[in-house]
Structure 1
Amino acid sequence: MARAIILVMDSFGIGHAPDADKFGDVPANTFAHLAQYYYQETKQQIALPHLASMGLVDACLAAGKEQFPIANYQLAKGAYGYAAEISSGKDTPSGHWEMAGVPVLFDWGYFPTTTPCFPEKLLSEIYQATGINAVLGNCHASGTEIIARLGEEHVKTGIPICYTSADSVFQVAAHEEYFGLDKLYQYCETVRSLLDDYNIGRVIARPFVGETKEDFVRTGNRRDYSVLPPSPTVLDKLTLAGGHVISVGKIADIFAHQGISEKTKATGIDALVDATIEHLKTAPEKSLIFTNLVNFDQDYGHRRDAIGYAEALEAFDQRLPEIFAAMQDDDLLFLTADHGCDPTWHGSDHTREYVPMLAYHHNIASVDLGERSTFADLGQTIAEMFDLHQLDYGSSFLQKLTFK
């Protein structure tokens, strides 16, 4: 195989995982429940002919064991299965690192659900290091809600909005123009340097624009500041072996830019797909194009917008033939997710779910991969594909991707 492409449908769970009870997520099912809600509200069945033909619906039915309305489809070709997560959390870095062969088997640090949520000692260190002696927020919050609530005060005072969530994260929202994008990035870098003792996975810069709470909107200039994975991932192994790893979207940020050869930022699912296709035109052999489709999560999952999620899935499905057409005969495409985010679930946090594990090449047969015990099976498969040293976790399914 000459090149691999990973498309991460961020938050696209397909049924509660075996340990979902530990997270209070039984019986979450992102795909089935959004499809049910979409039919209930629109009286139309969600139509995903290309994803379904690759085995997505069959994988969800096997994982979630729950029926849902879906437009007619034909199971055509593609390997399909469903994978459980062994990492301790249901956050973005854990999911991505595990699919790259390095599960997170330790517990992240988290900020308490109290208000205020940040320790006074940490805040004092931030004030001293940044020269800004206050924060707004200091609580658990939804990103869109908190800028509507505190954005005007932020613009007036110049004080950044700092908040967290159920993930191991410190988030900073600031206005691109009134606060400044570079200033926001510098602030977040400084905060990142102060969080090691707290074992916090990410600092996220959340820039926004607009003039009032009625029109504040987050921009595509988000930046994630992550700690390094605890050991070398398949990305590291591929680059060390002379391969080329291309990050599209926030992948480079998630891996703290380690093991990345080239990176492209883009805003919106269509732009991310466009960037992936452009790289398919020029990427050399022994390349991995790794794309995160963040909008499924941040625009629809967290905002509990089941209709928007369904419509975005249908639009993405219509782009798949363009990706297929751009693939060379020996390219291998993988579609998966990093966690769930059931838009019909209570709250606004991720949900502990199985994720799809789909694979496609032009001559593939229809293959049932069944249940995979870890997301790391994907990393192990890519390691075998590129003849790299075996990873510590996961079982390759490369040999199951039979040709017609």
Structure 2
Amino acid sequence: MRALILVMDSVGIGGGPDAELYGDRGADTVGHIAEACARGAADNGRRKGPLAIPHLVALGLGEACRLATGRVPPALGGPVHSQAVFGCASELSKGKDTPSGHWEIAGVPVPFEWGYFPKTTPCFPNDLVERLCGETGIHGIIGNCHASGTAIISELGERHMRSGEPICYTSADSVFQIAAHERTFGLERLYSVCAVARRLVDPLNIGRVIARPFIGSAATNFRRTGHRRDFSVPPPGQTILDYAADDGRDIVSIGKIDDIFSHRGTGRNRRGDGNDALFDCTLDAIDELADGGLLFANFIDFDTLYGHRRDIAGYAAALEQFDRRVPELLSRLQADDLLIITADHGCDPTWSGTDHTREQVPILVRVRDRAGAIGKRNGFSDIAATVARHLVLPVGTQGTPF
């Protein structure tokens, strides 16, 4: 009897009840991708035609979209498996960022507002920059603005390699991001600079400092690597991971889960460069996961490679590739395992800007002797409550099991 939580990062299914407060009324990541595919607007060399994700549809994704928006997106209609449980959930946490979404999935909604950097250039306080340089020995920083990560590396990467000054930037999220070349600057040196920055931004209530290493020799071939690392603040309460760890359960975290939870209760971590590699890690970990164990995985490509870059065709292709591997996942399940596939927020590639979108998320479940709809859930913490009940873990009162 084990539990698995798989987070399809940013795969939202329609604006939440409060989406208008975030400028996201009408956002719908899955729905808008499916509509674009249906009219041929997402055809390219990687994929063509209507969105083809039959295994996620069989788990209830189309019906979860119906619950969230009142409609089933094009090509997502079809029968739901007799052992599938499906629903949708609206976020309670303030914000639409990665830590808030994951922490709430794990049973700890975020009741406070994060700190953000202003949309000015420069955007970082002078004393923060001075202290960062003084404590790390770097001569200065470049960037110091709101930017797309790939764009600013292309723009400033060569200058960075000549000067040795790291590229520092932020976004609409509560983040301080530092990009540096893995070879000319050094990966471990980048991590050490980020560790200092993490301490310095704590008084500003910044959620994450993110190391963004890249390789290449010029703007035409710079590429971010899979050695990204997030320096997050710890969750403000006990998560399902903490409760499982306290009870001595076997825990495996996949991808950036350990960073998101500040390495607290995350057990053995496995990383991979991209969704397919992360899927391989997940399958291997399932084979090793002990009875009573918990696996928590994040699949990052949807968000980082396609959502933020507003690449509709790429996002559609990523969904289809993930779907093709779902049968491998289901074949690894034992009879009494609980599988939950969900998301942490949206990142509608048809939306303006490059930010996340405030959306409802799907809850797709496979568990023995259960089937049907669980309706619209008020908060993501019902996921943690359900996992706790399945694993017979003593937990707090946040969330209602479904």
TM-score by length of 2: 0.96
**Within 5 A, what are the aligned runs for 1:151-190?**
151-190=157-196
- Matched with 1:320 is 326
367, 371, 390: which one pairs with 2:376?
Answer: 371
Amino acid at match of 1:256: S
How far the C-alpha of 1:127 sits from its partner, in A, is: 1.2
How far the C-alpha of 1:72 sits from its partner, in A, is: 5.7
- Matched with 2:304 is 298
1:201 aligns with 2:200: no
**Within 5 A, what are the aligned runs for 1:1-150?**
2-40=1-39, 41=41, 42=43, 44-70=49-75, 73-77=78-82, 78-150=84-156
Q: Closer, same or farther in 2 for the Cα pair 1:117/1:360, shift >3 Å?
A: same
CA deviations on 1:150-172 (whole Å, 9 max, x unpaired) are 00100111100000001100000
CA deviations on 1:159-197 (whole Å, 9 max, x unpaired) are 000000011000000001111101101110111111111
CA deviations on 1:363-387 (whole Å, 9 max, x unpaired) are 4443101000000000111111122
Please, what is the CA RMSD of the aligned residues?
1.1
- Matched with 2:269 is 263
Amino acid at match of 1:26: R
How far the C-alpha of 1:93 sits from its partner, in A, is: 0.2
Secondary structure at the aligned position of 1:113 is classed as coil
Amino acid at match of 2:381: A
Q: Closer, same or farther in 2 for the Cα pair 1:72/1:106, shift >3 Å?
A: closer
- How far apart, in 1, do the equivalents of 2:77 and 2:61 lie? 13
Q: Which moved more, 1:139-148 or 1:260-269?
A: 260-269
- Matched with 1:382 is 387
- How far apart, in 1, do the equivalents of 2:135 and 2:370 lie? 58
Q: Is the 8 A contact 1:249 1:272 kept in 2?
A: yes
- How far apart, in 2, do the equivalents of 1:249 and 1:48 lie? 23
Q: Which runs of 5 or more structure 1 residues have no equivalent in the other structure?
A: 398-404
TM-score by length of 1: 0.96
Q: Is the 8 A contact 1:110 1:200 kept in 2?
A: yes
Amino acid at match of 1:104: V
- How far apart, in 1, do the equivalents of 2:269 and 2:370 lie? 32
Q: Which moved more, 1:217-226 or 1:44-53?
A: 44-53
Secondary structure at the aligned position of 1:134 is classed as coil
How far the C-alpha of 1:391 sits from its partner, in A, is: 2.3
CA deviations on 1:112-166 (whole Å, 9 max, x unpaired) are 0111100011111111111113111000001000000100100111100000001
- Matched with 1:275 is 281
- How far apart, in 2, do the equivalents of 1:267 and 1:127 lie? 31
- Matched with 1:344 is 350
1:245 aligns with 2:251: yes
- How far apart, in 1, do the equivalents of 2:76 and 2:196 lie? 50
- How far apart, in 1, do the equivalents of 2:349 and 2:194 lie? 29
Q: Is the 8 A contact 1:45 1:71 kept in 2?
A: no
How far the C-alpha of 1:73 sits from its partner, in A, is: 3.1
Amino acid at match of 1:366: A
Secondary structure at the aligned position of 1:343 is classed as coil
- How far apart, in 2, do the equivalents of 1:65 and 1:348 lie? 26
4+ residue runs of structure 1 moved beyond 6 angstroms?
Answer: none
How many positions carry a matched residue from both structures? 395
Secondary structure at the aligned position of 1:106 is classed as coil
Amino acid at match of 2:317: E
Secondary structure at the aligned position of 1:206 is classed as strand
How far the C-alpha of 1:32 sits from its partner, in A, is: 0.3
Amino acid at match of 1:46: L
- How far apart, in 2, do the equivalents of 1:298 and 1:316 lie? 15
- How far apart, in 2, do the equivalents of 1:105 and 1:80 lie? 27
335, 349, 354: which one pairs with 2:360?
Answer: 354
How far the C-alpha of 1:71 sits from its partner, in A, is: 5.6
Q: Is the 8 A contact 2:62 2:72 kept in 1?
A: no
Secondary structure at the aligned position of 2:130 is classed as helix
Q: Is the 8 A contact 1:54 1:366 kept in 2?
A: no
